[in-house]
Amino acid sequence: MVVKGKQLGSGSFGTVYLATHSTSGEQVVLKEVNLRGLNAKDVKSSMAEVEVLKRLKHPNVIAYVDSYKETGQLCIVMEYASGGDLGSLIRKKAKEKARLPEPQVLKILAQLMSALAYCHSEMHLLHRDIKPENIFLTAGGDVKLGDFGISRIMTSTNALASTQCGTPLFMSPELAAGKPYDSGADRKKSALEAERRQLAEARAAEEEAMRRRREDDDARDATRAAERAAKKEALRKGH
């Protein structure tokens, strides 16, 4: 059991809270899924997430702690990544007009690929919703892949799936086109996100360069105006 704290977020299937484990005293994440009013398919999907989390054991995947049902709710207790999610970090850097250092980007990509390789090769599992908001970070900056709510277990390593799901902005080409897909879909989504991040940084750098050029132009115009005014004043005094 846990002691529920502040709300961290909410989605279509549940609300997430920061909580404290009553036995260990450690900070954990509590996801509450309201089972009331859900159809059989959605209840099955919620229970499937628990079964997936129980099986996952990798240093770059959010760890399962516990689960239980309470007053019509499914409660899932998971590891807490205190560094927030990658999406928030990217937005923070964009607001500061700063870039993520290249070593940090390489570390994130390497650890994310390690997590995906484990899911694909060892667990035969597709995540199907790779995006910055589902990539969490520890206080030390290590990656923790989370939110396996729409993942799919593959019956074999080369199996193809066909259910369309995921976040549209981050869909792989196969998912976007409604075609069958395999573990390559997760890797393509990761590559697409890395490319999107590079484009966003390039756009921010271009906007910053344009702003500086405008400031330089304004400064030159002000200097020229001051020089013209000084010349006019000198001519006036000369007469």
Average pLDDT, the chain: 77
Q: Please report the DSSP string for 207-226 in residue order.
A: HHHHHHHHHHHHHHHHHHHH
Does pTM surpass 0.85? no
| Domain ranges within the chain, ordered by starting residue | 2-79, 86-199
Contact 70, 76 (CB under 8 A): no
Cα separation, 19 vs 235, in Å, equals: 77
Fold of 86-199: Transferase(Phosphotransferase); domain 1 (1.10.510)
Q: Same CATH fold, 86-199 and 2-79? A: no
10 Å CB burial of residue 99 (0-12, 13-18, 19+) is middle
Annotated binding-site members for ATP: 31
Structure tokens at 188: 């393509």
**Known catalytic membership, residue 221:** no
Residue type, 53: L
Annotated binding-site members: 31
Give tens-digit pLDDT for 109-142: 999 989 988 888 887 888 777 888 889 999 999 9
- Cα distances from 21 to residues 1, 29, 60, 75, 78, in angstroms, run 6, 9, 21, 13, 10
Give tens-digit pLDDT for 140-195: 999 999 877 644 443 333 333 333 334 444 444 544 455 454 445 455 555 556 65
Q: Which has the closest alpha carbon to 76: 59, 42, 55, 51?
A: 51
Task: State in Å, rounded, how far the first CA of the chain is from the last one.
Answer: 92
10 Å CB burial of residue 20 (0-12, 13-18, 19+) is middle
Tell me the CATH architecture of domain 2-79.
Answer: 2-Layer Sandwich (3.30)
Task: Tell me what pLDDT residue 202 has.
Answer: 61
Question: Which candidate in 42, 85, 129, 182 is catalytic?
Answer: 129
> What is the mean pLDDT of the segment spanning 191-203?
61
